[in-house]
Structure 1
Amino acid sequence: MNAPASTTAPPTTPGRDSAPTDHLTISPSILYFGTPVALLTTLNPDGTANLAPISSAWALGHTVVLGLGAESRTAANLAERREVVVSLPSPDLWAAVERLAPLTGADPVPAAKREVYRHEPDKFAAAGLHPQDSEAVGPPRVAECPLQLEATVRTVSPAGPDGGFRIVECDVVRVHASASVVVPGTQHVDPAAWSPLIYSFRHYFGLAHPELGHGFRSQTAGRGAAG
């Protein structure tokens, strides 16, 4: 006997029947597709602090990988003194970050930068930010930043077709977090309280959308809107 025909519709892949078909092939000048801003603090040869914003950083475990220009003062400092603090600003600090953007600690200013950048020996003051002593490394933290990562440099490698970039692998040795972004009584950053400053195609953004869900390995599930 034949089984009766099922009245249940077959499962479908969400969005499969309405996949977008309007993609364009483009050649953007930059590919900052939405990454957190990081402020890097390093020590200059005279022992003063250099402060520089970057938008190319990612973390895997307690390894942080940084991308920066080869001619920057930061790159030179990291090659000579292998300590750094990675301070992560919140969205309300975007104007301070932008005040840092046209400044360089390099003196003289590299020829390729002279039309846009100017030398500034005290970047903390120029940005309206304040140094805070670190505990495990020499460079100071940025006091206003809710997350601060003290780190040592493992490797500095050339990158890019002309070697114009440096990829820096760092080992995080100390983490500082504002009490306002820590789950009380735990060692966890509260993802519902922490909001990074995002740099997307040279524009600044915060996290404007409510939580959509959480990963299956989350240790803070249930604290956001999606539970």
Structure 2
Amino acid sequence: MVSDQDNGLASKHSTISPAIFYWGTPVVFITTENPDSTFNIAPMSSAWWLGNRCMLGLGAISQTTINLLRTKQCVLNLASDGMTDAVNALARTTGSKEILTAEPDEGYKYFKRMNGYEYVHDKFGHAGLTPVISDLVRPARIAECPAQMEAELVGVYEMMQDADTKGFIALEVKVLRTHVHQEIRMEGHKNRIDPDKWRPMIMSFQELYGLKGKKS
């Protein structure tokens, strides 16, 4: 039974159709290997973890997706809340040369061209980041990121099959090895992160935020 009190709470809500659904997720720099053996970096935030698996939501024809489908390898580098400059430096860049001549029927690449994205070959140099050799995969890790996960592709799922506009896919990757900065580790534990020391960067509705202190 719905009470008058419930109706009062409901009156605080409005029905809307949000332009985007970015409620707040961590920023991830995905590094992948380009066909010429250089490395691409893509900042993104459509990522979540379950066990040692991570689901990534990406444009179907982005350079990161193309690289990942070809090589089956990547590194998930988690940005701290002090890496705003690097995120902003890469936000409107692409590793795809095709953006320079993309036509309307090329979907996401044309969208990037029309929205001022810039082709950048050396993403590490452009953002002032330092590559570190990975142990198990070819793509480099990012030294400045406090957490880095070497991963391999294990599943690909097409999204929005019920919509006229497609172009997005979900990729499942398996974490093979995790590297973390010493300062975010929990004292007295071999394999734990101290949440009071780890400050991930959060992207919420296309704005960047850091976490505040513990609530309880």
**Matched residues, percent identical?**
41
CA drift at 1:20: 5.6
SS state at 2:82 partner: helix
- Report what 2:112 is aligned to: 113
The superposition leaves residues 67-119 of structure 1 with CA deviations (integer Å, 9 ceiling, x where unpaired) of: 11112100101111100100001011012111101000011112222122111
CA distance in 2, matches of 1:111, 1:97: 22
SS state at 1:180 partner: helix
1:44 maps to which of 4, 12, 34: 34
- Report what 2:88 is aligned to: 98
Structure 1 residue ranges without an equivalent (≥5) = 1-14, 213-225
Change (3 A) 1:182 1:68: same
Larger radius of gyration: 1
- Report what 1:136 is aligned to: 136
TM-score by length of 1: 0.83
CA drift at 1:26: 1.3
Structure 1: 4+ residue segments shifted above 6 A: 15-18
TM-score by length of 2: 0.87
Structure number with the bigger relative contact order (C-alpha 8 A, sep ≥ 6) is 2
CA distance in 1, matches of 2:51, 2:11: 37
SS state at 2:97 partner: coil
- Answer 1 or 2: which has greater helix percent: 2
SS state at 2:24 partner: strand
CA drift at 1:46: 1.0
The 5 A counterparts of 1:210-221 are: 210-212=213-215
- Report what 2:56 is aligned to: 66
Instruction: Name the amino acid aligned to 1:114.
Output: R
CA drift at 1:16: 7.4
What's the RMSD between the two structures over aligned residues?
A: 1.6
CA distance in 2, matches of 1:207, 1:125: 28
CA drift at 1:18: 7.3
